[in-house]
Chain A
């Protein structure tokens, strides 16, 4: 048996509901070994940098698609935190296969980057230690993570409405809930964000593009935007870049650190 190095492999089940896709047109593009390698390497580097930072909770972003047309670099962020065993987890909201529904997940850094990235670069903003301390019990508590979640999803949801909620908006509102004890509802979290000077990104999206978006994609809607803005092609929404700029401007968070 000298050659037989028997590898017993334990299974870890991390299966979420594949059933959600039943009947949906969810076109699956086969991944390449190279993409997995690069994503996992980015996850590994991110874990190393986060370990070195001494932080307990950070805002972590990825580049899932090219948004340079809108002057936006990062497409998506979540709240990453350190577990007692030293592993990093990310809580974030994901839209399911282009549907109008989204849910909150807790994932490893691997899954966070094992998504069809446009560019293999991560960005981190480290909140002030007192803000981290208020975030930590929230990110570990599923009931609190669900508290401000609205399943109805539009990728350009209006920041000051409650009809829809996109991913970055959920993360931002959950951040607000952690910082302000009175922010127990989306409305109150948004009021706190306004009071703290958060300003969303204004996207300039013309009528044809708006129409196209609504007609062709279940996960894009404009009907929650005020008419006076919508009809002047100004679509306000929560972007990673606007959140990072706000955290930095208010002293709530440090500068953006990039990881490759």
Chain B
């Protein structure tokens, strides 16, 4: 198994951007409408190459969250992505949804035609991500 590379990735669904802020008057704060969602991913690395087009094969609920199985059309390589909780459920992603991979210096973004649906950080990106609520 010499060719097996292990990559630890933290995956974050950068789902929804803030919002509902009435843009009236002055404001200094932003709404935290979208919560970073932690997930796990098991995928051949080649699947996460820039410009790759993947098709959602299945979407299932699991104890950890929502599990997507994605398949690359060209060779059938598959990736399994687990998105936790609510933000994933809010996405309108189902079997047949086509997803494109965008590579960047901090990781990969998965997008449908209209919106980004997941961010998979690499090591640089993972160091930039953290979320802890300090007060109620």
Interface set of A (CB-CB < 8 Å, partner B):
1-18, 21, 24-33, 35-37, 40-41, 43-44, 47, 64-65, 67, 70, 72, 75-77, 87, 89, 91, 93-98, 102-111, 114-116, 142, 145-146, 149, 151, 153, 155-156, 166-168, 203, 205, 209, 212-213, 216-217, 219-220, 235, 237-240
Q: Name 16 A/B residue pairs within 8 A (Cβ), A-sorted.
A: A7-B44, A9-B39, A11-B10, A14-B12, A27-B19, A27-B20, A28-B33, A30-B116, A31-B16, A72-B26, A93-B29, A94-B29, A104-B134, A111-B36, A151-B136, A156-B25
- Selected from A5, A9, A203, the residue in CB contact (under 8 A) with B41 is A9
Interface string of B23-51 (1 = CB under 8 A from A): 11111111111111111111111101000
Whether A116 touches B131, Cβ cut-off 8 Å, given contacts A30-B115, A72-B26, is no
Contact status A97-B15, CB under 8 Å: no
- Selected from A9, A91, A103, A235, the residue in CB contact (under 8 A) with B136 is A103
Nearest CB of chain B from residue A35's CB, rounded to whole Å: 7
Interface set of B (CB-CB < 8 Å, partner A):
1, 3-12, 14-46, 48, 64, 82, 84-87, 90, 102, 104-107, 109, 111, 114-116, 119-121, 124-136
Q: Which residues of B contact A220 (CB under 8 A)?
A: 22, 24-25
Contact status A213-B25, CB under 8 Å: yes
Contact status B9-A149, CB under 8 Å: no
Contact status B4-A15, CB under 8 Å: no
Q: A103: nearest residue on chain B (CB-CB)?
A: B135
Whether A15 touches B85, Cβ cut-off 8 Å, given contacts A97-B33, A155-B29, is yes
Q: A28: nearest residue on chain B (CB-CB)?
A: B16
Q: Which residues of A contact B43 (CB under 8 A)?
A: 7, 9
Contact status B10-A10, CB under 8 Å: yes
Q: Which residues of A contact B127 (CB under 8 A)?
A: 47, 87, 108
Contact status B33-A32, CB under 8 Å: no
Q: B102: nearest residue on chain A (CB-CB)?
A: A33
Whether A146 touches B109, Cβ cut-off 8 Å, given contacts A16-B32, A29-B16, is no
A238 to B48, CA, bound (A): 45
Q: Which residues of B contact A109 (CB under 8 A)?
A: 128
- Selected from A37, A77, A240, the residue in CB contact (under 8 A) with B102 is A37
Of the listed residues A2, A33, A94, A116, the one surrounded by the most CB atoms of chain B closer than 10 A to its CB is A33
Contact status B3-A98, CB under 8 Å: no
Q: Which residues of A contact B4 (CB under 8 A)?
A: 1, 4-6
- Selected from B6, B39, B115, B135, the residue in CB contact (under 8 A) with A31 is B115
Contact status A10-B40, CB under 8 Å: yes
Nearest CB of chain A from residue B52's CB, rounded to whole Å: 13
Q: Which residues of A contact B21 (CB under 8 A)?
A: 64-65, 95, 98, 219
Q: Which residues of B contact A145 (CB under 8 A)?
A: 134-135
Contact status A95-B31, CB under 8 Å: yes
